Amino acid sequence: MKAPLPEGFIPAVIELAGRDRGDLNGPWTDPTSEEIKKIWIDLSPSDMKDKFSDYEKDITQTMTNVLIDWRNLFGKEAIKALEDELRKQNGERQKYVTDQTSSERFWDHKCYYKYPNEQPKASNLLPDKAIGSVPIEELLKNKPTSALVLTILAIDRALRLCSSASTNSNSLSDELSGDNQAKERTSEAFKSLGLGVDASRWSRIIRFACKVEESAALPDNFA
C-alpha cells in the first residue's frame, strides 16, 4: 500500500539522518523504524497518526531509497565541484590533487580546514541536503555532524578517484553510497571534526549554510 507521506516528512527524516545519533557508522545508518514512526506521528494529521503500521513496509523502503539518493548526491556534488576546479588548473590537475591530499589525515587537508571568510569549505554541501527548512536554533542544538562527515568523505573520495583515474575526472563514478573505502574512513572523519570544528565554527557553518540557495561541495576556491 502506497503511503501518503505527510508534508515535510522526507526532509525531516533526512535531517535526522544527518545528525550524529551516536552510531559508529554515522551517515551510513538509516534512522530506525521507531525514529521514523515518531516523525510520522509528529507530522501527520490527527486521522493518520495511528496509521503508521498500515504503511510501515512502504515507508521504510521509500526512505531507504531516498537516503541512498541523498548520500549519492553528496558524491555527485563533490565530483562536479572538483571537476569545475580542475578546469581552472591550466594543465596542473594532478599537482592540484596531490597538493590537496599531501597528508593521509583529514584534518591536514586544506580543502576541509582552510577558513576563508571564517567559513569551512566542506560546509557548502549542507544546505538542502542535510538541513532543509529546520530552524537555525534547532540545528545549533542537533548539529548536522553526520552530514558534514558525509561531505568530507565525498570530497576525499572525489580526490582519491581523480588521483587514480587513468584518463580524467569525467570517468569517475558518483555512487558514494556503495564506496567501501569511504565507509571505512567514517570514524576518522568524525575524529577530524572533533579536532577541527569547535562550537563557534559550528555556529558559522550552520548560519552560513542556511543562507545558501544553491549548494555545492566546495565554494569558489577549493584550494
Burial of residue 36 (number of CB atoms within 10 Å: 0-12, 13-18, 19+): buried
> Does residue 192 contact residue 106 with C-beta atoms inside 8 Å?
yes
Q: How many CA atoms lie within 13 A of 212 on its CB side?
A: 23
Vertex 109 angle, CA 15 and 25, to 5°: 40
Angstrom CA distances, 34 to 31, 37, 178, 213, stand at 8, 5, 25, 32
Domain residue extents for the chain: 9-210
Residue 29 predicted with pLDDT over 90: yes
Q: Considering Cα of 82, then 85, then 90, then 94, what sign does the dihedral take?
A: negative
* Cα 53 to Cα 218: distance, rounded to the nearest angstrom: 41
Backbone dihedral region for residue 214 (phi beyond 0: left; psi -120 to 50: alpha; all else: beta): beta
115 versus 55: the higher-pLDDT residue is 55
C-alpha cell at 62: 521509500
* Residue entry with cell 565507509: 183
- pLDDT tens digits along 193-211: 765 566 776 776 666 666 5
* Cα 136 to Cα 159: distance, rounded to the nearest angstrom: 31
Q: How many CA atoms lie within 13 A of 223 on its CB side?
A: 13
- pLDDT tens digits along 124-181: 554 444 455 566 666 667 777 888 888 888 888 888 887 765 434 444 555 899 999 8
* Cα 115 to Cα 119: distance, rounded to the nearest angstrom: 5
The secondary structure of residue 127, as a DSSP letter, is: I
pLDDT band at 222 (very low <50, low <70, confident <90, very high): very low
pLDDT band at 66 (very low <50, low <70, confident <90, very high): very high
C-alpha cell at 219: 565554494
- pLDDT tens digits along 98-117: 777 766 666 666 555 444 33
Q: Average pLDDT for residues 88-94, to the nearest whole number?
A: 77
pLDDT band at 93 (very low <50, low <70, confident <90, very high): confident
Q: What is the pLDDT of residue 220?
A: 33
Helix orientation angle between 145-164 and 186-196, rounded to the nearest 10 degrees: 120
Residue 68 predicted with pLDDT over 60: yes
Q: Cβ atoms within 10 A of the Cβ of 103, count?
A: 10
pTM (two decimals):
0.79
